[in-house]
Amino acid sequence: MRQPLIAGNWKMNGTRASAEALMRAVVEGVSGTVGKAEVALCVPFVFLELGERLLAGSAVHLGAQNVCSEPGGAYTGEIAATMLKEFGCRYVICGHSERREYYGETDELIAKKLVRVTESGMRPILCVGETLEQREQGFTQTVVASQIDAIIAANGIESFAQMEIAYEPVWAIGTGRTATPEQAQEVQSFIRARLAEHDKVIAEKIRILYGGSMKAGNAAELLAMPDIDGGLVGGASLVAEEFLAICRAGDASV
């Protein structure tokens, strides 16, 4: 049985005050749940110290949304994996579609970031997914397979033992348009089968989250699918009650 992971992706949102209020509300809310699902908040870099303080001793893990592909040195404006680890991060989102699209991140670059994260003792959440155009042209599996295969080729199948995957159809991110549970399940079981071609044990163990307008109203039906092991939650993670309802759906899905 894979323990569900509900991870909030705050993206570039919030102020110091709102970040503090949201962290406090999530910590308090999660302490009242049965805690079967694991919970994490992936916050902007500047709120990591706050997160380290406010989430300490709670059941809520801290995460970051990006990392430098290099270990350290003259990379102005970048943040090293070792720095994230120092601030108590457990998870780091890598290869989010917004980074692939707006910042030109390639599979090769993402593969290097994954190495940085795992060698620093954290777990990457590797995002994969197709655009609307690719889906409409029937290329969903081709796109997702190439994103996964590139990481296998660069880092080996064993690297998947130390990470989570998030299937995030680009057309469902921030659009309010969610993949149906059947659509998400189809791709997520395809991802697991692709990994199983290389290593059945790793494929069976890895958590594959769904991301793309997951909210309180649709979380339960998505999380009920056999290959959906949690959620990467954007917009809905910015509202404590909404996010906590998804965490409760995660608990109930176990």
| 177-236 binders of ligand PEP (CB under 6 A) | 211-214, 232-236
| Residue 250: CB minimum distance to ligand PEP, A | 15
User: Which residue number, 84 or 170, has a Cβ lying nearer to ligand PEP?
Assistant: 170
Stretch that binds ligand PEP, among 73-81, 131-139, 166-174, 217-225 (CB under 6 A): 166-174
Q: Which of 23, 54, 110, 173 binds ligand PEP (CB under 6 A)?
A: 173
C-beta neighbour count of 56 within 10 angstroms: 11
Residue whose beta carbon is closest to ligand PEP: 234
User: Is residue 96 within 8 Å of 126, Cβ to Cβ?
Assistant: no
Residue 93 C-beta-side C-alpha neighbours within 13 Å: 33
Between CA 214 and CA 174 the distance in angstroms is 9
**Total number of residues that touch ligand PEP (CB under 6 A):** 13
Between CA 106 and CA 204 the distance in angstroms is 27
User: Which residue number, 69 or 213, has a Cβ lying nearer to ligand PEP?
Assistant: 213
Q: Which of 5, 6, 8, 9 binds ligand PEP (CB under 6 A)?
A: 9
Between CA 233 and CA 238 the distance in angstroms is 9
Q: Which of 38, 96, 98, 164 is catalytic?
A: 96
User: Which residue number, 29 or 129, has a Cβ lying nearer to ligand PEP?
Assistant: 129
Is residue 96 flagged as an active site residue? yes
Between CA 5 and CA 18 the distance in angstroms is 24
User: Is residue 202 within 8 Å of 160, Cβ to Cβ?
Assistant: yes
Query: For the window 109-148, what string marks contact with ligand PEP as x by the rule CB under 6 A?
Result: ----------------------------------------
Let me know if 59 is exposed, middle or buried by CB neighbors in 10 A (0-12, 13-18, 19+). Answer: middle
| Residue 190: CB minimum distance to ligand PEP, A | 19
What is the secondary structure of 95-140 as a DSSP string? Answer: S-HHHHHHS---HHHHHHHHHHHHHTT-EEEEEE---HHHHHTT-H
Q: Which of 168, 187, 208, 248 binds ligand PEP (CB under 6 A)?
A: 168
Is residue 198 flagged as an active site residue? no
Residue ranges that bind ligand PEP, judged by CB under 6 A:
9, 168, 173-174, 211-214, 232-236
Catalytic positions are 96, 168
